[in-house]
Amino acid sequence: MSKRTKIKALLESTQTDIQVTVMGWVRTFRNNQFIALNDGSTNNNIQIVVDFENTDEALLKRITTGASLKVVGQLVASLGKGQKVEIKATEVEILGDSDPEKYPLQPKKHSLEFLREIAHLRFRTNTFGAIFRVRNSLAFAVHKFLQEKGFVYLHTPVITASDAEGAGEAFKVTNFDIANPPRTESGEIDYKQDFFGKATNLTVSGQLEGELGAMALSDIYTFGPTFRAENSNTTRHLAEFWMIEPEMAFYDLEDNMDLAEGLLKYVISYALENNREDLEFLSQRLQEEEKSKPQNERSEMSLLDKLQFCLDNSFERLTYTEAIDILKESTPNKKKKFQYLIEGWGADLQSEHERYLVEKHFKKPVILTDYPKEIKAFYMRQNDDGKTVRAMDILFPGIGEIVGGSQREERLEKLEQRMAEMGIPAEELWWYLDTRRFGSCPHAGFGLGFERLVLFVTGMGNIRDVIPFPRFPKNAEF
């Protein structure tokens, strides 16, 4: 097995007339002679030429779509179109059979909906092979960018007793028999008898714990799964998703925006450089898909052009107040085309408003700052106007919000006052408030939804197609 060479390496090699060993899965087998073999290292198959006249007929019958093979043979220059090299097989061994009557991935076009039902096999298609190789590169690039800047990768807990957003949409974690939990004298569930001695849930964000690390290590980041128990059946929401959350001491809002823009540009650039072939395939796939859409709904740019455009342009920075003025005067608002009309300052921006600013008005990524404090979380630094906070959201074409962050409130009395206003119990977050009691300093951070980033870079339309095993309401398969 150790003598195996990956197909990508052979297709890129300039050597020929050497003996090679490859292993992979059969995509097609034509004329009892030509096997298209793929091992997942690239979307491109390598052609195996079998000497069918001198090969056992029983073996040939077992070479079916989905079967896994070990092939030993001579790598030679190909006479056929579309490939530089092929392998003349001297030895074909079947490592695993695949019953063609039962194998659901026959060589034809399958819908994305069907492939979601067989998510355990969809990695074997060209589309999902490309998506998950790109996802891998983006994850690696996130670590590379932050590590090169001296950030410390911190693992924050998956099980927590705090709800960082105050949204109350968390999955509860318990060891109780849920049909018969122990109760207090007043009839409440007695969490003191639970495994952790208190009510716990799956994390909605590693931010609060991340801030603790930043208050000693200066620059940290988390990159892990987060969970939201929202009953959202949309193309942009998941119940389990991955978040990148950097937290930086001695940073203000400007520094925060610079870091987030730099990170996004770096990872997009890394994917363009290292996954060109996959992105070209996904760009072509998107163009085919868009042919069925009305002209006005089609993208003005190809996927590759859109990615390059993000690298070539500075993100437009403006305040929430400026954005509201633009939206209020916009044609879709005046003609009542928005589902949620913008009537004035204080409105919580919806995806349609974010996308209008990015796709129609500025035609490039946008960073919005200084939101009303009423629509933002308790930990954001309050501005001197008493109305707004030092928040920033980055909006991307086709996605809407991809990053949400802020300069954090470092002043203890201001933070306690805001928590009291929002009904967040200070006694439960005593440890968080300690960071403001002992050596507080200006600091900032943001959260980047990893799947939304993958969605943008791959040009896919549904977030369920960019995570290996999507979790959403009424679905926890595989």
Helix axes 303-312, 253-274, angle to 10 degrees: 140
What secondary structure, in 3-state letters, does 32-47 show? CCEEEEECCCCCCCEE
Structure-block tokens of residue 376: 């933002």
User: CA angle, corner 290, sides to 288 and 293, nearest 5?
Assistant: 135
Report which of 36, 26, 46 is spatially closest to residue 105, judged by C-alpha positions: 26
Nearest to 88 by CA among 77, 70, 73: 73
Q: Half-sphere exposure of 26 toward its Cβ, with a 13 Å CA cutoff?
A: 32
Q: Are 477 and 118 in contact (CB under 8 A)?
A: no
- Determine contact, residues 464/238, Cβ cutoff 8 Å: yes
Task: Please tell me the distance from the alpha carbon of residue 453 to that of residue 141, in angstroms, as a whole number.
Answer: 12
Cβ-contact 447, 245 below 8 angstroms: yes
Q: Which residues contact 350 (CB under 8 A, 6 or more apart)?
A: 338, 339, 340
Specify the amino acid at residue 222: T
Q: Which tokens hold the place of 122?
A: 């969809």
Reply yes or no on domain 7-107 having CATH 2.40.50.140: yes
CA–CA gap between residue 393 and residue 368 (Å, rounded): 5
Q: For residues 400 and 45, what is the distance between their CA atoms, to the nearest angstrom?
A: 36
DSSP string, 222-272: EEEEEE------STT--SEEEEEEEEEET--HHHHHHHHHHHHHHHHHHHH
Are 87 and 76 a contacting pair, CB within 8 Å?
yes
Is 364 within 8 Å of 313 (Cβ atoms)? yes
**Distance between CA 245 and CA 398 in Å, rounded?**
22
CA distance 116 to 137: 22
Q: What is the pLDDT along the chain (478 residues), one digit of tens a residue?
A: 678 999 999 999 889 999 999 999 999 999 999 999 999 999 999 999 999 999 999 999 999 999 999 999 999 999 877 789 999 999 999 999 999 999 999 888 899 999 999 999 999 999 999 999 999 999 999 999 999 999 999 999 999 987 665 556 899 999 999 999 999 999 999 999 999 999 999 999 999 999 999 999 999 999 999 999 988 888 888 999 999 999 999 999 999 999 999 999 999 999 999 999 999 999 999 999 888 888 877 787 899 999 999 999 999 999 999 999 999 999 999 999 999 999 999 999 999 999 999 999 999 999 999 999 999 999 999 999 999 999 999 999 888 899 999 999 999 999 999 999 999 989 989 999 999 999 999 999 999 999 999 999 999 999 999 999 999 998 898 8
Place of tokens 């009542």: 336
State the pTM of this model. 0.94
Query: CB-side exposure of 114: number of CA atoms within 13 Å?
Result: 8
Q: How far, in Å, CA of 257 to CA of 369, rounded?
A: 9
Cα–Cα distance between 257 and 93 in angstroms, integer? Answer: 55
Question: Measured between alpha carbons, how far is 100 from 106 in angstroms, rounded to an integer?
Answer: 8
Q: Where are the domains of the chain?
A: 7-107, 124-169+204-465
Architecture of the domain spanning 124-169+204-465: 2-Layer Sandwich (3.30)
Angstrom distance (rounded) from CA 446 to CA 451: 15
Q: How far apart are CA 55 and CA 140, in angstroms?
A: 44
Supply the angle between the helices 450-458 and 276-290 in degrees, to the nearest 10.
70
CA distances from 1 to 4, 36, 45, 59 (A): 6, 20, 20, 21
- CB-based contact 406:392 (threshold 8 Å): yes
- What tokens appear for 250 in the block? 């001695």
Rounded Cα gap, residues 190 and 271, in angstroms: 50
What is the DSSP code (8-state) at residue 323?
A: H
Residues 91/107, Cβ–Cβ less than 8 Å: no
Token representation of residue 132: 């998950």
> For residue 57, what is the enclosing H or E element?
helix 57-61
